[in-house]
Amino acid sequence: MGIAVGCCGISWSELDHITVDELSLIVESWHEYQEQLSRERWEQTRTMCLYSLAPHSKKPLKPKDVFELGWDKHVPVGTISKKSDFDAAKRKFGV
């Protein structure tokens, strides 16, 4: 309730009319928003570092060259990296 009232701006009277599922969705959306803000700040920090280092580098730099962030290593769902994984997936789905 503290997040709903304090952070999400829901009044106590509105809180009486919200179901637990609705409250869960509100808090989840608020958390996703906060996560996006955090990522944005880190990306800005990395970009500032990149432009600070670029004049001193002999080769062109990419943001990932400065430092990697947790979401840089995101592997798309369904990506299979090894033949053994592919074979196991084929057996699992009977292909």
Between the CA of residue 12 and those of 6, 23, 30, 31, 91, what are the distances in Å? 10, 13, 18, 20, 54
In this structure, are residues 62 and 78 in contact, taking their beta carbons and an 8 Å threshold?
Answer: no
Between the CA of residue 19 and those of 7, 16, 59, 94, what are the distances in Å? 18, 8, 56, 42
Q: If you average pLDDT over every residue of the chain, what do you get?
A: 83
- Residue 29: which of 42, 37, 72 has the closest Cα? 37
Q: Which pLDDT does position 37 carry in this prediction?
A: 94
Q: Which pLDDT does position 1 carry in this prediction?
A: 62
Alpha carbon 46 to chain centroid, angstroms: 16
The pLDDT-based confidence of 51 (bands split at 50, 70, 90) is very high
Put simply, whether the predicted model's pTM sits higher than 0.85 gets the answer: no
> Does the pLDDT of residue 78 top 80, yes or no?
no
- Residue 70: which of 34, 46, 95 has the closest Cα? 46
